[in-house]
Structure 1
Amino acid sequence: MPIKFGTDGWRDIIADGFTYENVRKVARAHAQYLRSQGGQEVIIGYDTRFQSQNFARVAAHAFASCGLNVQLSDTFIPTPALSFAVWNRGAAGGAMITASHNPPEYNGYKLKGPYGGSATPAIVRAVEEVLESEAASDTQSGQISPLDVRQAYYTHLDTLLDLDTLRSYPGVLYHDAMGGAGAGWLEGYVRHAGLPVEVRSVHGNPSPLFYGVNPEPIPQNLAALMDLLQGEQGLTFGVATDGDADRLGAVTSGGHFFNSHQIFAVLLQHLHAQGGRGRVVKTVSTSQVVERLASILGLEVLETPIGFKYIADAFLEGEDDRDKRVLIGGEESGGLGVAGHIPERDGLLISLLLLEAVAKSGQGPRELFAEIERRVDYQHHYDRVDLLVDRHFDKVGALERAGHWTTVAGHTVKGVNARDGVKLLLEGDAWLLLRASGTEPVLRVYVEAPTAKAQQAILQEAVERVQTSGPEA
C-alpha cells in the first residue's frame, strides 16, 4: 500500500496502512533527508491514540539507526509543544505521531521543520523523494534521550500573553481536551502563571477512543461541553482542543458553538487593538468576515490553499521581509498561529488569547463577534458537510462538474476560485467550496452566506447534486 502525504503529513488506518514497518520507512526517509541537510538531532512526540507511544519508539530507533540523536517525549504531548521544542532546542526537525482530528482508527506522522512549524511543501517533497527511492538506511547509532518541554513552553507563553489582563478575568474557563494530548495543559499553565482563573476540565483523561466521538472540535462532537455551558451566564465560556491540541473550537455561555472563523476575527481585532500589525493569512475555506475586517483595519490579506504548511510558509517569508510580516494566520478547521510565536497553529495559546480578549473587553465571545459583524456589515452563517465516499467515487470528476455549475439554489455563480478544490463565488455575498480531503475518503462541502436560509439552501442543493453526480450533474 503506497504511503501518501496529505495536507499535514501522512495518515492511515492503524494496522492497515499505518504499521510499525511503514512508520519505520517514513522515519528513515525523514532521517536521511535531515542528514543530507547536516542535521544531527530530531525531536519526537506522540498523542493519546492507540499505540502512539510505541509508534514513536519505533520512529526514534529508526532515526537513531541513521545516526541522529533523538529527544523522545516522555509522555503524550500537544503538537504545538513538540513544535516549540524543535525550535527551542535548535533541532534539525521533528516528528509527531498523531492523526490530529481524524477518527480513532487512524494514526499519523506529522513532519516539523527546524523553525518549529509544519514542514513546508518543499520539505515534504524532499522526504517523499527519499521514500520513493527506497534508499538503504545507515546502521549508525544515535542516542535516544527523554524530552520534557512543558516548563520551557509555558515560560515562552508568558512572553505572548498579557498576564495582568488574564488575572482580571472574572468567569470560568471550561476546557474539553476530547481525551487528546491537550489534557491538563491549560490547567497546568494557569498554575504555572499563578492566574486566579478557574479551569474546569471536560474529557480531561487520555482516551484512545476519544469518548466515542472524532476528536475534532465541531458541534456534533461537543454535546457534553455545550450541555455544561447551557446553564452558564456572563463571560464564562469553554474551549475544545482536538486530538493533538493544535486546533480549537469554542462554546459560549448558553451552550452556543463559536466556530473557528469567529475566533479568527475576534483575535484579529484584539491583536490589532493591542498594536499588532502585519499581513493576515487565511485559507480559501475561511470566512469573508476576516478579509472584510482586515480591509477596514488596513491590513493586507493573503489567501492560501488548505493546509497550515502554506500559512507556515508565509510566516517564514515574513521573518526576512518586514513588509511581509504576518500578524495572524488561520484556517477553517480551527488552526491559528500568531506573530511572535513559532509558525505553528496552537490550540492552547489561542485559547488563552481568546480568554485575554474577553477579559480585556469585558464582553463574551459572541458579543465581540456581533460587534465585528456590525463593523463589516455582514452576517456570518456557515456550515460544512463531510461526504464519505468510497474508492469508486470519482472525486475529480465531481469537482470538475461543479466548476461548470451556473446557479446553486437560485444564486448565480459570479466566479470560480480554483486555488484548492472548486470555490463558487455566488451572488448575494455567498460562496460554496467543494474539496476532496487530503487525509480521509471524504468530499468536503463548505458554505457561507449572509442569512441562515440562504446558507442552508445552498448547502442542501450542493450535497444533493454531488450525491447524485453523473455526467449531466
Structure 2
Amino acid sequence: MRSSRSRKDGRSCTPPRITWKRRSSEANWRATASPRIPGTPGTSRRWRTDSSTTRSVEPSSNILSRSSCRWSSTSMPWRSSPTGNRRRGTAMRDIRFGTDGWRALLDSVFTDLNVTRVAEAFVRHLHSTGDAGSSVAIAYDGRRRSKHFASLFAEILSAHGHPVILASSIVPTPVLSFAVRHHGCSAGVMITASHNPPDYNGIKFKGAYGGPFMSDRTRDVEAELRATTEGKSDPALVRTIDLLPAYLAHLGTVVDMQALREFARTDSARASVMIDSMGGAGGTLLEEILAPLGWRAQTIFGTPDERFYDRLPEPIAQNLGPLLYNTAVTDALLGIATDGDADRCSIVYEDGTWMTAQENILALVWHLQVNKGWNGAVIKSASVTDKVRMLAQRRGAEVFDVSVGFKYITEVMLKEDFLFGGEESGGFGFKHHLPERDGILTGLLFCEMIAVTGRTLKEIMREVYDVVGEVHYDRIDAPYDRPDRADILPRLAAMTGGETLGGFAVQSVRTYREGTALTGVKFLLGNARWLLVRTSQTEPLVRIYAEGQKDDEVRMLLAEGKRLAGL
C-alpha cells in the first residue's frame, strides 16, 4: 500500500566510498568518487556511469540487473526484422498518436519515412491554422538517432518555407517549451520518447504558449497523414542555437537563488543533494545550477546514454535504487531524479526513502502558498489525492479536477490565474513559468523549500500532515483483453449516485472524456475518499485508483473497483 509510513528503501547494502572536497572555487563542491551501486556480493561486472570511465561495481538483482531492466528488441515479439518488408513499407496506420504525441519502436515503425510523413502532416496542420511560414523550434533528447530525426524534421520544415530554431545540443523538454515562447515560435517539436524503453523514440508537439498540444490539434496532425511529397530543404532557414542560457536566466526569476546561496553559506555541512538524471536529457544541469551556489551537488548517470544505462528512464522507486541508497549514506538533504526528457521529477527523502508523487504535490502546494506567498488556482489530475483540495482551499484557492494527462492541466492553465498543476506521474507546472511540466524547476523548488525553512523534507511533511492527515492511496493496472472493454465506462457512468461502495455512500459520479470518448469514471465518497476507473485507449488495460482514510479502506475500494469493472 502506498502510504507515507510504508516504503521499501532498498538500503541494506555496503556503503559507497564518497568524500566531498572543495573545488578551486571557495563555494564549489563535488564528490571525489562516484557512488557505488549496491548489489549482491560475489559477482561483479563493468557498469558505465559516464561516457569516459568505467567502474567495477556489483549488480543488483532487484535494482539494475539486465534481466529486469534492459528492454531489448528480442523481448518484443511484434517487432519486425530490420530487413523485413514492414520496415520498407510501414503503413501510415502504424502511426498512432497518444495523449502526448507519437511514440513507436525504432527501426520498425519510427523510421525516416514515417518521421517524414509526420513532419509533412505537421506542416499541413500549420498551414490549416494560418501559420504557414511561421517559425518552429526543434530539440531532441539523447536517444538513439534523436539528433538525426530532429535535423530531418528541420529540413522538411525549411523545405516548406518555415524558419527553424534547432537546438545545438541535447536539452530537456521544458527547455524546448520555453524556447517556443521565448522566441515567438508558432509551435515546437521535441524528439523524445520520454520514459519509454530505449528501443523507442517519439515526437511531442508544443503550442506557441510553451505547453503541450491540445487533443484537437494532435488529432488534426494525425488526420493530415498521407503519402510523402518531394521538396528541397533550405539551410538558410535553419538556425542552430544554444537554448539553455535564456531558460536558465528565466529560472532565476522563479527560484530564490539568493536563498539557496545563503543556506549553503550558513549551513554548508547540510546543503547537499544527490541527483540521478537516469542517463536522460537532464544531464548535469541541476548540478551545474546548484554547485556555483555552494551546494554539494553530485549527479549519477549524468551523461546522456542511448540505453539509459540499462534502466527504464521512469523515476519511480523500483528504478531508483542507486539514488535511494546514496542519498542516505552521503547524508544528503534530498535526492532528485528526472525522467528521460526531464519534464518529470521524483524526490527522495533524506533517509533514502522515496517521496511519492502525492506527497510531492502536497509539499509543493504548501511551499508555494506558505513560503513564497503565491496565489492562484490549483489544478490536479483526477488520480491525485483529494488532500490537495483540503490544503489549497484553506488559503482560498480554487481547485480543478481534470482528466489524467498534463494537456488537460495545461488547458485550464491557459484560462485561469493558476498557482500549480500536478499529476500522479510526477509532472508539475508552476506559476510565473510555463503551462508545462518541468522536472528541473521542480527539483530546484524542493531545494528552495529546504533552504527557506531550514527543515528537512520529513519535518515539512509532518507539518502538512498535521493539517490534512496522511495520504492513503493505491492503484491497480489490470490486463483486460475481452471485447467488452469499451462497455465498462458507459455502464459505470450510468450510476447516478445513492449506491454504496465499500460501505460508503456514493455522493456523486464524475466522468472524464477525450473528445467524445469516455476515458474515466470517478465515484466521490466524501472526506477524501474516492474510486476512479479508467480504460486505456491504446492498451488492453483497466486502471483502478482509490483513496481512503486508512489502508484497509483503500484495499476495500480497489476490490470494489475490480468488481465494477468485471475483473
Alpha-carbon distance in 2 for matches of 1:411, 1:342: 39
Query: How much does 1:94 deviate?
Result: 0.6
- 1:271 alignment partner AA: L
Equivalent residue runs for 1:71-470 within 5 Å: 71-131=165-225, 134=226, 137=229, 139=231, 141-142=233-234, 143-167=237-261, 168-169=263-264, 170-191=270-291, 194-231=292-329, 233=331, 236-273=333-370, 274-317=372-415, 324-376=416-468, 378-388=469-479, 394-400=484-490, 411=504, 413-419=506-512, 420-426=519-525, 429-437=528-536, 442-459=541-558, 462=561, 465=563, 470=566
> Any stretches of 5+ residues in structure 1 without a counterpart?
318-323
1:64-119: CA deviation from partner (whole Å, max 9, x where unpaired) = 22221222222221000011111111112111111212233332110001121111
Please state which structure has a larger fraction of its residues in helix: 1
1:54 to 148, 160, 182: 148
Residue of structure 2 in register with 1:4 after alignment: 96
Alpha-carbon distance in 2 for matches of 1:440, 1:45: 28
Q: Radius of gyration: which is bigger? A: 2
Residue of structure 2 in register with 1:321 after alignment: none
Contact 1:66 1:138 in 2 (8 A): no
Return closer, same or farther for 1:403/1:224 CA change in 2, 3 Å cut-off.
Answer: farther
- 2:297 alignment partner AA: V
Alpha-carbon distance in 1 for matches of 2:303, 2:484: 40
Alpha-carbon distance in 2 for matches of 1:106, 1:410: 44
1:259-281: CA deviation from partner (whole Å, max 9, x where unpaired) = 22222221212112222111111
Alpha-carbon distance in 2 for matches of 1:88, 1:184: 23
TM, length-normalised to structure 2: 0.74
Query: How much does 1:139 deviate?
Result: 2.9
Contact 1:316 1:343 in 2 (8 A): yes
1:194-240: CA deviation from partner (whole Å, max 9, x where unpaired) = 3101111122222233233322211122122112233355x711111
- 2:461 alignment partner AA: F
Partner SS for 2:288: helix
Residue of structure 2 in register with 1:34 after alignment: 126
Contact 1:10 1:439 in 2 (8 A): no
Return closer, same or farther for 1:164/1:351 CA change in 2, 3 Å cut-off.
Answer: same
Alpha-carbon distance in 1 for matches of 2:307, 2:473: 28
1:390-448: CA deviation from partner (whole Å, max 9, x where unpaired) = 5x565323445565795555555443321241223346642222223456554333222
Return closer, same or farther for 1:250/1:416 CA change in 2, 3 Å cut-off.
Answer: same
Q: Which runs of 4+ in 1 moved over 6 A?
A: none
- 1:5 alignment partner AA: F
Alpha-carbon distance in 2 for matches of 1:437, 1:352: 33
- 2:290 alignment partner AA: V
Alpha-carbon distance in 2 for matches of 1:69, 1:188: 31
> Any stretches of 5+ residues in structure 2 without a counterpart?
1-92, 265-269, 513-518
Return closer, same or farther for 1:438/1:79 CA change in 2, 3 Å cut-off.
Answer: farther
Contact 2:358 2:471 in 1 (8 A): no
More deviation in 167-176 or 243-252?
167-176
Alpha-carbon distance in 2 for matches of 1:56, 1:239: 28
Alpha-carbon distance in 2 for matches of 1:210, 1:240: 13
Q: Name the % identity.
A: 40
What RMSD, in angstroms, separates the aligned Cα atoms of the two structures? 2.5
More deviation in 150-159 or 445-454?
445-454
Partner SS for 1:297: coil
Return closer, same or farther for 1:385/1:250 CA change in 2, 3 Å cut-off.
Answer: farther
